[in-house]
Structure 1
């Protein structure tokens, strides 16, 4: 696959930053929040996440159950999230630095694109949100219903994988570019929706205290932890400026 088919290669970058959205760019997971508050609650959600983390079931099936438990109209879900979800403290500064230094940011999410775009427009402004490439699941009305009525919407998965959205499928074509054209690839994530991406880039940022750290240690995947995007910003900036290399940056738990 040539670079013309890869949107993030449009400016011939030397570095590309792939990132999860929920719990990574945001301080809370929007899907967890509406499940806990508008769906079947935190107890069943955490049981499902545990089953995914330890390989007892697919993320797709667990997430489908979570979303099916939410009967609130879709516009009500978005309004609830706009009132309760907050941006990671360091992301906005990192966003502008990346834009100014030709480091494309690609959002790879196991969530739903309309929610992500609404939150990013709220946090960054509409034009800035529209400038970001987002690859995610979507939503659709149930047959004979409107998404903005009770029980009227359903998740539409991005692909047929057990993840619903296999993030590795988006990263791998960049990793397979020929030497001299292939950029250095980063990924940042926090949870079970990120397992498919964990082994696909040179440097993985895993949010401290979250499920992705447990997975990386269990599977011997090199990583470094972060508390917020200011730490990611410092590390990526140092790599871009040639002060450190990606191998030395993979320090594990900090």
Structure 2
């Protein structure tokens, strides 16, 4: 018999209107009418959802938080790999899938602005992909519940599969890659990029946006052109400490605002505010960049003043005498395409 679920701590439910957004402000999610090709990859736990689906299961139906902390320490010290630790965690579970999901429904909070951002992506033909070290059946079921199946079907999930017995007594991860990581997120993004390049009419590379919250997202983040890091969490701290170009965000509304700037700026620079003859080759270098060397050239051609004008919230000092977290990396990469710094 599966153990009785431990009641999760009370969840503070945010006030969300019918569109899924906090507050009452209405956000325009209509098509931008731009031609810039953008592909979004996002972490799941701690990014789209503010809690961790795996931790919810392990703490309620598995080894518990104390044992999980021991395993986390072994992983951090390098004593054991992510795949080894995860196998132990999944092996500790003893709960039917549906029973576990019932707890997740009440334990998880979705980012209050994610639904609107996802609508924005759909309306602008921006593919949105979840890239996770978790289990695909869990992630899909959670998205179906919080977004609805119609909206959820527009999200591709790049994650590990799972083999779960009917009675829930046996959970096994079916790893996507034969490696210590189990799922090599960087490899998945690279494969996606190459496939998109082959499908392109002119062989150009789409701009990859990655959204994350933790250091475990770094392998994927280094393959992205633009990196969004949830403010105040470990990924942002790491970027600041190591001078990696990034854009901090509090909710997905911030991401929508910045992506809109990027797309509109590129359209204006490329087409000269409606004049196809006024073409700025620099604005199109990212499409042709197929190597780190080419990306570095693009970074060198992007002056600091231009970036500060387009993204003042990101690159201007927040308070007198205090440099923005991104300021040390300005000479290495721009917010339009911080390829060189992010991939370093």
Q: Please give the TM-score of this superposition, normalised by the length of structure 1.
A: 0.81
The structure 1 residue matched to 2:112, chosen from 71, 82, 89, is 89
Alignment of 1:30-179 (within 5 A): 30-49=53-72, 51-52=74-75, 55=78, 57-141=80-164, 147-176=165-194, 177=197
**Equivalent pair of 2:240/2:325 in contact (CA under 8 Å):** no
* Residue-by-residue CA offset, 1:46-83 (whole Å, 9 max, x unaligned): 45445545655432222222222222222211221123
Equivalences, count: 238
The aligned counterpart of 1:226 is 249
Tell me how far 1:129 sits from its aligned partner.
1.0
The structure 2 residue matched to 1:20, chosen from 40, 43, 47, is 43
Tell me how far 1:33 sits from its aligned partner.
1.5
Find the residue that maps to 1:35 and give its secondary structure. helix
**Equivalent pair of 1:75/1:148 in contact (CA under 8 Å):** no
Find the residue that maps to 1:241 and give its secondary structure. helix
**Equivalent pair of 1:113/1:138 in contact (CA under 8 Å):** yes
Q: Greater RCO between the two (CA within 8 Å, min separation 6)?
A: 1
Task: Provide the rounded CA distance (Å) in 2 between the counterparts of 1:219 and 1:42.
Answer: 31
Which stretches in structure 1 are left out of the alignment for 5+ residues? 1-11, 142-146
The aligned counterpart of 2:296 is none
Find the residue that maps to 2:57 and give its secondary structure. helix
Task: Provide the rounded CA distance (Å) in 1 between the counterparts of 2:259 and 2:226.
Answer: 10
Task: Provide the rounded CA distance (Å) in 1 between the counterparts of 2:191 and 2:168.
Answer: 40
The structure 2 residue matched to 1:216, chosen from 239, 242, 248, is 239
**Equivalent pair of 1:175/1:201 in contact (CA under 8 Å):** no
Who wins on radius of gyration, i.e. which is larger? Answer: 2
Task: Provide the rounded CA distance (Å) in 2 between the counterparts of 1:95 and 1:223.
Answer: 21
**Equivalent pair of 1:20/1:107 in contact (CA under 8 Å):** yes
Which stretches in structure 2 are left out of the alignment for 5+ residues? 1-34, 270-282, 287-298, 300-306, 316-323, 327-344
**Equivalent pair of 1:60/1:162 in contact (CA under 8 Å):** yes
Q: 1:49 to 1:211 in 2, by over 3 A?
A: farther
Q: 1:32 to 1:215 in 2, by over 3 A?
A: farther
* Residue-by-residue CA offset, 1:115-160 (whole Å, 9 max, x unaligned): 111111111111211221111111114xxxxx23142222211111
**Equivalent pair of 1:20/1:108 in contact (CA under 8 Å):** yes
Task: Provide the rounded CA distance (Å) in 2 between the counterparts of 1:62 and 1:115.
Answer: 19
Find the residue that maps to 2:163 and give its secondary structure. strand
Q: Please give the TM-score of this superposition, normalised by the length of structure 2.
A: 0.61
Find the residue that maps to 1:233 and give its secondary structure. helix
Task: Provide the rounded CA distance (Å) in 2 between the counterparts of 1:51 and 1:240.
Answer: 43
Tell me how far 1:192 sits from its aligned partner.
4.5
Task: Provide the rounded CA distance (Å) in 1 between the counterparts of 2:255 and 2:74.
Answer: 29
Q: 1:50 to 1:224 in 2, by over 3 A?
A: farther
